[in-house]
Amino acid sequence: MFFSLIQQAKKLLVLALLCFFFCYLFLQRLYFAQTQIFWRFVLFLDFPFLLLLAVSIGFITKEMQPGRPQSVVSPIPQRSHSSQAADTRGKHRIQAELKRLEQEARFLEEELELIERMEKASAACKEMFSNVESRPDPLLPITNGPINPMWDQWFEGPQEAQGCKCWIL
């Protein structure tokens, strides 16, 4: 019902534009016919006005053409078509996200099963402690052996290069 009202309103608009145009012509000839500037006025004002009128009528009547039954019968299918597309896109996105969540849930359940058989942190701490203690470390003041003589290479020989090999810099 709303759409048919719009159609009626468009028809009325076209009629109103036509009426206005003819009134304009009548008044124009009534007041300017006696003067030589009449024809110049016609050229300058009538042509663009005619063009605007033609475009407006063409635009309005195009929407009223019978070749687009959907818009004539009801705008709702046209609107729902675009909203249907949006729903489909949203649906796919939600489905993908849902799938990811279900996969995440499966992974978490697997991890919960594994954690039941897992040893406590103290075992890992003990292993780490043992590993660290046993390895020689050149950066420590107190360390296990054996010492590598290369550890002190940084303090042997000239510390600054005499020249740079790279000519670019």
Partner 1 sequence: MSVAELKEKHAAATETVNNLRERLKQRRQQLLDTDVATYARSQGKSPVTFGPTDLVCCRTLQGHTGKVYSLDWTPERNRIVSASQDGRLIVWNALTSQKTHAIKLPCAWVMTCAFSPTGQSVACGGLDSMCSIFNLNSPTDRDGNLPVSKTLSGHKGYVSCCQYVPDEDIHIITSSGDQTCVLWDITTGLRTSVFGGEFQSGHTADVLSVSINGSNSRMFVSGSCDATARLWDTRVASRAVRTFHGHEGDVNTVKFFPDGNRFGTGSDDGTCRLFDIRTGHQLQVYYQQHGDNEVPHVTSIAFSISGRLLFAGYSNGDCYVWDTLLERVVLNLGSVQNSHEERISCLGLSANGSALCTGSWDTNLKIWAFGGHRKVI
Range 149-158, long-range pairs (CB < 8 A, 24+ positions): none
Shortest distance (Å) from residue 159 CB to partner 1 = 7
85 is an interface residue for partner 1 by CB under 8 A: no
137 is an interface residue for partner 1 by CB under 8 A: yes
Residue type, 35: T
Q: What string marks each residue from 16 to 45 as x (binds partner 1 by CB under 8 A) or -?
A: ------------------------------
Looking at the Cβ atoms of 67 and 149, the one nearer to partner 1 is 149
Query: 2-32 vs 47-63: helix axis angle to the nearest 10?
Result: 160
CB 61 within 8 A of CB 7: no
82 is an interface residue for partner 1 by CB under 8 A: no
Instruction: Round to whole Å and give the CA distance between 56 and 14.
Output: 8
Instruction: Round to whole Å and give the CA distance between 161 and 154.
Output: 13
Q: Which two tokens stand for residue 111?
A: 């991890």
The residues in 89-108 that bind partner 1, with binding defined as CB under 8 A, are 90-91, 94-95, 97-98, 100-105, 107-108
The residues in 106-125 that bind partner 1, with binding defined as CB under 8 A, are 107-109, 111-112, 115-116, 118-122, 124-125
Minimal CA–CA distance to 46: which of 26, 63, 72, 62? 26
Q: Can you give the binding site for partner 1, defined by CB under 8 A? A: 87, 90-91, 94-95, 97-98, 100-105, 107-109, 111-112, 115-116, 118-122, 124-129, 131-132, 135-145, 147-148, 150-155, 157-161, 163-169
